[in-house]
Structure 1
Amino acid sequence: MMKKRWVTIVLVALITGLGFTSYSQANNYPTKPIEIVVPYTAGSSMDVMARVIADEATKYLGQPMFVTNKAGASGIIAGADIINSKADGYKTVVLTNAFFGTTVKTQKMPYDPGDIVPIGNCMQYKMGLFVRSDSPYKTLNDLLEYGKKNPGKLAWGHHGRGISPTMTAMLIFKKAGVQTVEIPHKGSAESVASLLGGQVVASTSNYGPFKPHVESGKLRILVVYSDQRFSDLPDVPTGPELGFPDVGKMSVLIGLYAHKNTPKDAIKVLQDVLKKVCESEEYKKAIKKLGEEPRYGSADLIKKAILDSEEVGVPLLKEIGLYVPQK
């Protein structure tokens, strides 16, 4: 009887010990460096953000974080790297909600984007509609009224039909009932030059390339494409404030993602560290210097943003002939 009891005690101790060991091992993560894959070249806004995160996160993780650039196909190549790698928490990727909401709807995908899940949000791209400061358009309504009174004369520039700033401008003009003339450019530098030179009345873009000219007083930003005002542009209204609620759903959020099969304990560690990093003054200062908006948010914020982007963006893609049905 005593022998049986002793055996039982030993077995219980072993089982408990094994359970404790397994739990401890799981919570030893990370035990080696963690990679952040960036879908754009070194020096891009997304790349700089990732490097700031990597530097700051290393302080909390006890292991280095490092950045690898895998540019091409608007993020699809970087996403494929995550899909084809071991889902162990040692490889993450920086992507936008727009990648999932619209980009993957413009071509046949070699993998299921749903296999990549958000960890947390880190930043928001500033986007808006710009005019020259010496123009008579002090507000968005001024510009739209001109367009209504002069059908087919409001020429506006963009640098890509399927990108978020362009689709958001299309959304505004369509709802306002304004007939416009699109002037495509090869890049943001050409868009800036065209607006400054008077070849177009307005231009839609990310804020970064236009920022120096806004700050110097040469250009004016009429509206920001966001669901909330930006910290360094407090006097510029958002689309929803001006009667265009769907503009807020086209906000572009940049976050950290991982393979959906990544262990939950690893995801939890990364979420906790990301929150600390993104809420630190060092991080916020670096992102503001970059010209973008620091914006931490949970995975739920990103999931909602993806659905919003898809809801508004897909009909626009279909209208302009860029939508590609999946399976």
Structure 2
Amino acid sequence: MQRRDALILAGTLAAPAIHAQEAFPGNRTLTLTVGFAPGGVGDMVMRQLSESARAKRGVQTVVDFRPGAGSALSLDRIARATPDGTQVALGSVSALWIIPHQQQLGYDPRQLTGLGQISGHPLAVYVKTDSPLRSWADLLAYARSNPGKLSWGTTGSRGFAEVLVEAAFRHEGVQTSTVPFRGGAEAIASMMGGHIDAVASADFGPLLAQGAVRLLAETGPNKVPGHPDVPTFRELGYPLSDAVAYGVVGPPGIPRQAVLWWQEVIRETTQDPAFIEALRRIYAVPDYLDAEAYTRAIRDGYARFGAALRG
């Protein structure tokens, strides 16, 4: 009996150690937070990642929407989460590179754990196809003739699109009215309803394929696939012209085992034909960076845009 009791006690004491060494994530549910309203590009990216994790790894996942402040609210929440790797968030360039320079936030993007970059997206200024504004030159001419009257929507106040496009308008010496929304779907609905004149976002893909919108300019350095006639901000000589990318971030201090697990799931997702096709439909492409490279990109972008905003 004494030997049996000793074995039971030894097994009980060993249980925590065995659990600690269990492969991540074990039987825990993973929460993927999206800082934009449902229906936009960020929603699609994280749902695809969620599906990939379930299908390829057999884990339980939940997509949680926490829109607000250009997705900065979601990163503020993630920064305070338990750093065990079970809670991650969509990393947007707005919330990582720009908004922290403009607001007092509860997170420092340089301290977040970068888990991997997943996709690259064109971000365009666009209008309805029945708009009288048929080109970027038309839009500028209208803005010059009607100071402050041109209204255009973005996916969040003082986010990436707003900073880039406003810098272009300042360069051109025109005054416009910016209208921030909680996500691209809401901004598009307002434009399609005739409440605003244009939208600057990465959410135009389905409407462009349907012929419902017309692209006037691409804010990044690269052409929109299949639309070589749409000028880029780099071609136009504007002071800011950067590519849009989405990645996945977590709180500071995530264990290495969890970082490597997420990194591999992100890499697998970028190679998934279903994900590649979903991106193609919105004129985007897989753009994988591993955890180390993505963390470096976060810090580099934060420093670069901080300098640009101060200058």
Corresponding residue to 1:163 among 159, 163, 172: 159
Q: For residues 110 and 153 of structure 1, do their structure 2 counterparts lie closer, same or farther at Cα, with a shift above 3 Å needed? A: closer
The within-5 A match list for 1:4-23 is: none
Looking at structure 1, the residues matched to 166 and 175 of structure 2 have their Cα atoms a distance apart, in angstroms, of 9
The within-5 A match list for 1:101-120 is: 101-120=97-116
In the alignment, structure 1 segments of 5+ residues that lack a partner are: 1-21, 320-327
How many correspondences in the alignment?
Answer: 285
Q: Shift in Å at residue 274 of structure 1?
A: 0.8
Looking at structure 1, the residues matched to 306 and 212 of structure 2 have their Cα atoms a distance apart, in angstroms, of 31
Is the CA contact (8 Å cut-off) linking 1:98 and 1:252 kept in structure 2?
no
Q: Shift in Å at residue 36 of structure 1?
A: 1.5
Equivalent residue letter for 1:294: V
Q: Percent identity?
A: 17
Equivalent residue letter for 2:286: R
Secondary structure in structure 2 of the residue aligned to 1:109: coil
Looking at structure 1, the residues matched to 67 and 128 of structure 2 have their Cα atoms a distance apart, in angstroms, of 33
Q: Shift in Å at residue 271 of structure 1?
A: 0.9
In the alignment, structure 2 segments of 5+ residues that lack a partner are: 1-16
Is the CA contact (8 Å cut-off) linking 1:92 and 1:256 kept in structure 2?
yes
Aligned to 2:6: none
Corresponding residue to 2:275 among 271, 277, 283: 283
Equivalent residue letter for 1:158: W
Secondary structure in structure 2 of the residue aligned to 1:32: coil
1:297 and 2:288 correspond:
yes
Which digits, 9 at most, give the CA deviation of each residue in 1:197-250, with x for residues without a partner? xx85xx2422535852x44556421211223233354553422133336222xx
Q: For residues 147 and 307 of structure 1, do their structure 2 counterparts lie closer, same or farther at Cα, with a shift above 3 Å needed? A: farther
Secondary structure in structure 2 of the residue aligned to 1:130: strand
Secondary structure in structure 2 of the residue aligned to 1:89: coil
Is the CA contact (8 Å cut-off) linking 2:113 and 2:295 kept in structure 1?
no
Aligned to 1:140: 136
Aligned to 1:51: 47
Is the CA contact (8 Å cut-off) linking 2:220 and 2:241 kept in structure 1?
yes
Give the TM-score normalised by the residue count of structure 1.
Answer: 0.70
Q: For residues 42 and 314 of structure 1, do their structure 2 counterparts lie closer, same or farther at Cα, with a shift above 3 Å needed? A: same
Q: Shift in Å at residue 49 of structure 1?
A: 2.0
Q: For residues 23 and 114 of structure 1, do their structure 2 counterparts lie closer, same or farther at Cα, with a shift above 3 Å needed? A: farther
Is the CA contact (8 Å cut-off) linking 1:152 and 1:179 kept in structure 2?
no
Q: Shift in Å at residue 261 of structure 1?
A: 0.9
Equivalent residue letter for 1:180: Q
Aligned to 1:36: 32
Q: For residues 108 and 23 of structure 1, do their structure 2 counterparts lie closer, same or farther at Cα, with a shift above 3 Å needed? A: same
Equivalent residue letter for 2:60: P
Q: Shift in Å at residue 279 of structure 1?
A: 1.9
Corresponding residue to 1:274 among 255, 266, 286: 266
Looking at structure 2, the residues matched to 84 and 114 of structure 1 have their Cα atoms a distance apart, in angstroms, of 14
Which digits, 9 at most, give the CA deviation of each residue in 1:272-327, with x for residues without a partner? 221111121111223344x36233221425643664466347755x79xxxxxxxx
1:261 and 2:253 correspond:
yes
Aligned to 2:191: 191
Q: Displaced runs of 4+ in structure 1, greater than 6 A?
A: 22-25, 134-137
Q: Shift in Å at residue 122 of structure 1?
A: 1.9
Which digits, 9 at most, give the CA deviation of each residue in 1:110-145, with x for residues without a partner? 34343312211223444222356577866535654x
Q: Shift in Å at residue 96 of structure 1?
A: 0.6
Looking at structure 2, the residues matched to 309 and 85 of structure 1 have their Cα atoms a distance apart, in angstroms, of 22
